[in-house]
């Protein structure tokens, strides 16, 4: 029981991170109908930026945790958004209207490029940073097993909730949100109405990257280690979350993220830690087989 | 219906719903063998959806589509997947927005249409891999058939050209030639005259008549070009908002009050206009 | 049209300069966190290190590169426009139906000649023959994946899984049940094909990008299972002492009790015999693959693969069972990957999950994409470049994957069909009177 509660906490934390990354997949998919294969690597880039900035702050003796976190978040979000913009500009925009295989391959090329670029410039070895936020609240102890809610976990969940609310407001209530949604439905018509479609798509990529950047910072704080390979696995899991929730649906991405986080936490605790990645991939295949529209997505009618 | 024998295809109480949208509403229609049946209606009337239901691309919400196949007997098309509708029931369609294999040559396009017969002759590629005589004979026959249609449709000069590189009007003809290579009992053409110039349109009329009278292929034709529909159709069915609003011979349809209303619009067509439209 | 031409010509040097400055600025932003700054481990704690000179060099290259590229593109476009006007449109249209360039055919035969005679010239240079063998493995894998990606248009990101299935099937059959290379080869191929069908059956009706990510996941599943199912696969340690292939039952090893290749033919034993034998073995496997795939392409099934790539819905309307056609492409691609895997295991004598990571899938995909999807010769050229590049030096080896990634993006943007994108029709109509 205590173990289950602990896994629930861990799963929700992990799920919040997956959810943040999944939103990037879902938004890009919504607007250009394509999977951004490089999205997981964008998240990884952000984690490395976070490591660098934390180290710089430590060198300058910034000891206030909230200040440090805020600075890291701002810097990571800014630089990572530029990466998101560049990915779209280089690997996607020139291929609008090409065959469906071409942008997929260029995005995979971009993903391979980013991974190796980071490996070459930042080193292949795991980067550990000293714990930023230590401690937590001991909830209860049963048979010597203490259920602990770490401060980092609270932080991750709070940040995610705040971001989700702000984001929902942005998409449903603001002018940018309307432009974004109209691009999703009919790009040609949106362009005819005088809306800069290219700019809207660029902004969508940047927003997705910004959310992934936050996820990257959170993971760095949570685990304290980063390597160039984390984007690959996290990318597939977040993508699974987006598909499970229903690709194209923002609440779906968050729900899917939470579910994947929980499944992974419980699978690792009760069944087999070695095969936890297999569990996620199996879910992906099963969802695509039996309910390709996901939990909250609308079924796609094949246009003939 | 004036035909004495049972119809080739009979659609009964067909309904297709997409969520809240009723695309086809309780539609029934008989299609006679060796005849051309026109399906007309304003944009969004459900014509293409009707084709999609017929050819297995959509599963209708309700209703049945029965085909009286001369060799296989009664077939329920609404239960078959799209490729079996074409292969087993020999009901073959073309598309409103031409769907060729653009990088393949015209001849290859027509060979792909004969895939099932050839694949059978190649014994799952084994006979083909070893170049057995039985396969080579089948391939020769298939090429002869393709070339026959290419000649008939005056496309033979372009046999080795990639289909996607050819002008629009020609692509329309290639699509028809390709469909004919499947040996259709019933050929469903979705706006074959769209984008054709008057001369090409006239040639299309002749071709359709020839196919129905001489080749014995029943044709179901969606078309906006009235000069084609009225000229070639033996029978016309008019759809509006998913409902069949009229059915009959071309002359009958031209005088039908409901049809005129559907085309001119309900609000504009006040009493005066009605009186004028009726001769 | 005229205004458009005018527009491309009237880009002022100032505008070009401004454009390049913008690109340089973006390069600066991208470069600061990755090139300008890095962290290094010093006695357990991280320290920040800076590389400002490198960053400024990078920004300068981006600036100059953009200026030159922009200029070149404008020149090229202007040149193309004038050419398009000069050439009648109809001749352009019919040009796509012309026969393959004789140069390419010539290059193909020359490559075959070089491949056949290479060990004769380098019989005592183990390094050259070994590297050539590696190239041929990738050529074979590329030809196998080409069936799936190039012909059928299905993006498979987990191709290495089938390579692994082939390798492990042979490894297990040989070490646990004493099967020989030749006995295991067909079984391993069938095994890989079966895995292809098992994966393809539920997933092939998915949209292209879903299929891509599912195959990616499948590749990872296979690798995770190989790492963790120790009883079957030996876990991370892999399988060692896998027997080498024999020459019709004759082993290629130092003289012993049994007749060996050298003793049977009365030759003096030399370790290079085995290297050369392995080379000719993979050459034969690759050539059989090539002939097989070329013939399949001209059969109904091959045309159906290409038609499926062009338009799946039209295929269905022509009565083609889309799932069966895709499944056959998937299974045949998997089988060829399985054969290559068996050879890999036999050549190395040792296999472990490390040889079957995603980056291996990415390399094979890069070979197919860069060479020209559907082009057999293109695969050979791309495999040559991709294998030889890292052999040129340690720097190239380090930058190999980085360059692959960048090349994949650039080729797609520049020539979405690949470098050798020419498609040769599977048949040709010759008017009566001409001989066929």
pLDDT per position as a tens digit, B167-212:
988 999 999 999 999 999 999 999 998 888 888 889 899 999 999 9
Local structure of B265: helix, strand or coil? coil
Q: Judge: C38–A239 Cβ closer than 8 Å, yes or no.
A: no
Q: Compute the distance between CA of residue A237 and CA of residue A193 in angstroms, rounded to an integer.
A: 37
pLDDT at C102: 75
Q: Check pLDDT > 80 for residue A98.
A: no
Q: Is B234 on the interface with C (CB under 8 A)?
A: no
A217 to chain B nearest CA, in Å?
A: 42
Local structure of B33: helix, strand or coil? coil
Give the residue ranges of chain C where pLDDT is below 50: 1-8, 88-99, 435-436
Q: Compute the distance between CA of residue C161 and CA of residue A7 in angstroms, rounded to an integer.
A: 32
Q: Compute the distance between CA of residue C210 and CA of residue A243 in angstroms, rounded to an integer.
A: 9
pLDDT at C92: 38
Nearest residue of A to residue B50, measured between CA atoms: A304
pLDDT band (50, 70, 90) for residue B277: very low
pLDDT at C7: 45
SS3 per residue for chain A: CHHHHHHHHHHHHHHHHHHHHHHHHHHHHHHHCCCCCCHHHHHHHHHHHHHHHHHHHHHCCCCCHHHHHHHHHHHHHHHHHHHHHHHHHHHHHHHCCCCCHHHHHHHHHHHHHHHHHHHHHHCCCCEECCCCCCCEEEEEEECCEEEEEEHHHHHHHHHHHHHHHHHHHHHHHCHHHHHHHHHHHCHHHHHHCCCCHHHHHHHHHHHHHHHHHHHHHHHHHHHCEECCCHHHHHHHHHHHHHHHHCCCCHHHHHHHHHHHHHHHHHHHHHHCCCCHHHHHHHHHHHHHHHCCCCCCCCCCCCCC
| Domain membership flag for residue A99 | yes
pLDDT per position as a tens digit, A20-36:
999 989 888 888 888 88
Q: Is A98 on the interface with C (CB under 8 A)?
A: yes
Q: Considering only residues C78 and A86, tell me which one the structure prediction assigns the higher pLDDT.
A: A86
Q: Check pLDDT > 70 for residue B272.
A: no
This complex has an ipTM of: 0.88
Q: Is C292 on the interface with B (CB under 8 A)?
A: yes
Nearest residue of A to residue B17, measured between CA atoms: A301
Task: Give yes or no for a contact between B16 and B23, defined as CB atoms under 8 angstroms apart.
Answer: yes
**Which CA distances in Å does C319 have to B29, B83, B164, C323?**
24, 4, 21, 12
**DSSP-assigned letter for residue C243:** P
Q: Residue A200 corresponds to which tokens in the numbers above?
A: 């809207």
Weakest-pLDDT range from A48-57, A295-304, B8-17, B54-63: A295-304
**∠ CA(C171), CA(C172), CA(C178), 5° rounding?**
90
Nearest residue of B to residue C428, measured between CA atoms: B160
Chain C CB contacts of B122 under 8 Å are 299-301
Q: Is C32 on the interface with A (CB under 8 A)?
A: yes
| Helix axes C272-297 and C126-146, enclosed angle (nearest 10) | 20
Q: What is the number of domains present in chain A?
A: 1
Q: Is B183 on the interface with C (CB under 8 A)?
A: no
Task: Give yes or no for a contact between C276 and C131, defined as CB atoms under 8 angstroms apart.
Answer: no
Range of the domain at A53: 13-230
pLDDT per position as a tens digit, B223-250:
888 888 888 999 999 988 888 888 999 8
Length of chain C counted residue by residue: 436
Q: Considering only residues B20 and C21, tell me which one the structure prediction assigns the higher pLDDT.
A: C21
Contacts of C167 (CB under 8 A, 6+ apart): C188, C341, C342, C344, C345, C351, C355, C356
Chain C CB contacts of A115 under 8 Å are 401, 405
Length of chain A counted residue by residue: 304
Q: Compute the distance between CA of residue C381 and CA of residue C419 in angstroms, rounded to an integer.
A: 10
Q: Compute the distance between CA of residue A171 and CA of residue A180 in angstroms, rounded to an integer.
A: 7
Q: Compute the distance between CA of residue C172 and CA of residue C230 in angstroms, rounded to an integer.
A: 12
Q: Considering chain B, what is the average pLDDT of its residues?
A: 86
Q: What are the structural domains of chain B?
A: 1-90+183-279 (3.40.50.300), 99-182 (no CATH)
First-residue to last-residue Cα distance in chain C:
44
Burial class from Cβ neighbours inside 10 Å (0-12, 13-18, 19+) for residue B266 reads exposed
pLDDT band (50, 70, 90) for residue B274: very low
C430 to chain A nearest CA, in Å?
A: 31
C295, C307, C319 ranked by CB distance to B104: nearest = C307
Chain B CB contacts of C90 under 8 Å are none
Task: Give yes or no for a contact between C335 and C200, defined as CB atoms under 8 angstroms apart.
Answer: no
**DSSP-assigned letter for residue C98:** S
| Domain membership flag for residue A177 | yes
Local structure of B17: helix, strand or coil? strand
pLDDT per position as a tens digit, B102-125:
999 999 999 999 999 898 888 777
Q: Compute the distance between CA of residue C264 and CA of residue C253 in angstroms, rounded to an integer.
A: 12
Q: Is B132 on the interface with C (CB under 8 A)?
A: no
Q: Residue A202 corresponds to which tokens in the numbers above?
A: 């660029």
Question: Between A and B, how many CB-CB pairs are < 8 A?
Answer: 7
Nearest residue of A to residue C235, measured between CA atoms: A274
CB atoms within 10 A of CB A138: 10
Task: Give yes or no for a contact between A39 and A91, defined as CB atoms under 8 angstroms apart.
Answer: no
Contacts of B19 (CB under 8 A, 6+ apart): none
Structurally, what CATH architecture does the domain formed by C107-414 represent? Orthogonal Bundle (1.10)
Q: Where in chain C is the domain with CATH 1.10.3470?
A: 107-414
Residues 141-200 of chain A whose Cβ lies under 8 A from any Cβ of chain C: none
Q: Considering only residues C130 and A63, tell me which one the structure prediction assigns the higher pLDDT.
A: C130
pLDDT per position as a tens digit, A189-229:
888 888 888 999 999 999 999 999 999 999 999 998 898 88
Residues 27-66 of chain A whose Cβ lies under 8 A from any Cβ of chain C: 34-35, 37, 45, 48-49, 51-52, 55-56, 59
**DSSP-assigned letter for residue C34:** I
CA dihedral C276→C282→C285→C289, nearest 10 degrees, is -140
Supply the Cα-derived Rg of chain C in whole angstroms: 26
* Chains in touch with B (≥3 Cβ pairs < 8 A): A, C
| Domain membership flag for residue A301 | no
């Amino acid at each position: 029981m205590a173990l289950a509660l602990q896994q629930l906490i861990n799963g929700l934390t992990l799920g919040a991170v997956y959810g943040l990354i999944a939103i990037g997949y879902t938004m890009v998919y919504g607007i250009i109908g394509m999977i951004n294969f490089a999205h997981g690597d964008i998240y990884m880039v952000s984690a490395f930026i976070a490591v660098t900035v934390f180290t710089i702050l430590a060198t300058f003796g910034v000891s206030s945790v909230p200040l440090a976190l805020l600075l890291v978040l701002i810097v990571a979000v800014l630089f990572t958004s530029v990466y998101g913009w560049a990915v779209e500009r280089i690997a996607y925009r020139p291929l609008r209207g090409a065959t469906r295989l071409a942008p997929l391959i260029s995005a995979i090329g971009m993903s391979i490029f980013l991974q190796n670029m980071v490996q070459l410039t930042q080193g292949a070895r795991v980067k550990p940073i000293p714990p930023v936020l230590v401690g937590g609240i001991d909830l209860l102890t049963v048979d010597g097993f203490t259920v602990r809610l770490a401060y980092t976990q609270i932080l991750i969940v709070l940040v995610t909730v705040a971001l989700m609310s702000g984001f929902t407001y942005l998409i449903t209530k603001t002018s940018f949100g309307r432009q974004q949604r109209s691009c999703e439905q009919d790009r040609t018509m949106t362009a005819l109405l005088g809306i800069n479609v290219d700019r809207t798509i660029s902004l969508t990529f940047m927003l997705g990257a910004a959310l992934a950047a936050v996820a990257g910072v959170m993971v760095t704080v949570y685990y304290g280690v980063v390597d160039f390979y984390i984007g690959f696995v996290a990318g597939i899991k977040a993508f699974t979350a987006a598909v499970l929730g229903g690709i194209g649906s923002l609440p779906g991405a968050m729900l899917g993220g939470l579910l994947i986080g929980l499944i992974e936490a419980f699978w690792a605790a009760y069944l087999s830690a070695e095969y936890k990645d297999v569990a996620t991939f199996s879910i992906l295949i099963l969802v695509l087989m039996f309910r390709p529209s996901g939990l909250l997505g609308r079924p796609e009618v094949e246009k003939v | 219906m004036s035909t004495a024998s049972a119809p080739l295809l009979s659609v009964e109480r067909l309904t297709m719903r997409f969520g809240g949208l009723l695309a086809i509403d309780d539609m029934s229609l008989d299609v006679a063998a060796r005849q051309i049946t026109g399906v007309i209606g304003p944009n969004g009337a459900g014509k293409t959806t009707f084709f999609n239901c017929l050819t297995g691309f959509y599963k209708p919400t309700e209703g049945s589509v029965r085909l009286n196949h001369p060799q296989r007997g009664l077939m329920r098309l609404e239960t078959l997947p799209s490729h079996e509708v074409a292969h087993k029931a020999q009901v073959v369609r073309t598309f409103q927005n031409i769907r060729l294999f653009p990088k393949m040559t015209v001849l290859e396009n027509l060979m792909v249409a004969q895939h099932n017969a050839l694949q059978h002759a190649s014994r799952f590629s084994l006979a083909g891999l070893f170049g057995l005589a039985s396969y080579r004979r089948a391939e020769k026959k298939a090429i002869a058939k393709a070339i026959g249609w290419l000649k008939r449709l005056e496309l033979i000069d372009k046999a080795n050209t990639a289909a996607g590189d050819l002008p629009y009007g020609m692509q329309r003809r290639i699509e028809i030639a390709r469909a004919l290579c499947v040996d259709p009992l019933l050929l469903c053409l979705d706006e074959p005259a769209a984008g054709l110039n008057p001369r090409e349109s006239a040639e299309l009329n002749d071709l359709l008549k020839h196919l129905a009278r001489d080749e014995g292929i029943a044709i179901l034709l969606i078309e906006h070009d009235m000069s084609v529909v009225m000229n070639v159709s033996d029978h016309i069915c008019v759809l509006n908002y998913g409902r069949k609003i009229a059915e009959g011979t071309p002359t009958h349809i031209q005088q039908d009050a409901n049809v005129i209303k559907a085309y001119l619009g309900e609000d504009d067509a006040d009493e005066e206009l009605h009186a004028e439209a009726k001769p | 049209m005229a205004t458009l031409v005018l527009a491309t010509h009237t880009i002022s040097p100032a505008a070009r300069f401004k454009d390049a400055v913008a690109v340089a600025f973006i390069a600066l932003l991208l470069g600061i966190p990755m090139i300008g700054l890095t962290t290094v481990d010093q006695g357990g704690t991280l320290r920040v290190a800076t590389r400002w000179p490198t960053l400024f060099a990078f920004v300068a290259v981006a600036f100059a590169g953009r200026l030159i590229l922009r200029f070149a593109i404008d020149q090229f476009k202007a040149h193309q426009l004038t050419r398009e006007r000069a050439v009648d449109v109809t001749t352009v249209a019919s040009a796509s139906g012309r026969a393959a360039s004789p140069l390419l055919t010539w290059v193909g035969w020359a490559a075959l000649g070089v491949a056949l005679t290479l060990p004769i010239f380098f019989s005592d240079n183990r390094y050259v023959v070994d590297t050539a063998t590696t190239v041929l493995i990738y050529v074979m894998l590329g030809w196998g994946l080409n069936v799936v990606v190039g012909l059928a248009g299905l993006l498979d990101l987990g191709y290495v899984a089938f390579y692994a299935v082939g390798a492990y099937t042979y490894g297990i059959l040989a070490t646990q049940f004493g099967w020989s290379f030749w006995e295991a080869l067909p079984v391993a191929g069938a095994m890989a094909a079966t895995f292809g069908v098992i994966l393809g059956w539920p997933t092939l009706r998915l949209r292209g990008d879903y299929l891509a990510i599912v195959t990616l996941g499948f590749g990872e599943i296979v690798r995770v299972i190989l790492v963790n199912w120790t009883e079957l696969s030996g876990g991370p340690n892999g399988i060692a002492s896998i027997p080498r292939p024999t020459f019709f039952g004759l082993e290629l090893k130092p003289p012993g009790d049994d007749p060996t290749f050298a003793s049977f033919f009365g030759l003096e034993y030399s370790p290079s015999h085995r290297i050369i034998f392995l080379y000719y073995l993979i050459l034969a496997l690759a050539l059989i693959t090539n002939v097989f795939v070329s013939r399949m392409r001209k059969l109904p099934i091959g045309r159906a693969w290409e038609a499926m790539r062009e338009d799946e819905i039209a295929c269905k309307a022509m009565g083609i069972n889309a799932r069966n056609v895709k499944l056959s492409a998937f299974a045949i691609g998997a089988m060829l990957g399985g054969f290559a895997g068996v050879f890999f295991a036999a050549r190395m004598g040792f296999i472990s999950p490390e040889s079957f990571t995603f980056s291996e899938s990415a390399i094979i995909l890069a070979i197919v994409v860069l060479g020209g999807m559907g082009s057999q010769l293109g695969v050979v050229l791309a495999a040559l470049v991709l294998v030889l590049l890292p052999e040129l030096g340690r720097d190239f080896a380090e930058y190999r994957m980085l360059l692959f990634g960048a090349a994949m993006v650039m080729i797609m943007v520049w020539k979405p069909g690949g470098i050798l994108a020419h498609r040769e029709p599977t048949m040709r109509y010759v008017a009566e009177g001409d001989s066929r």
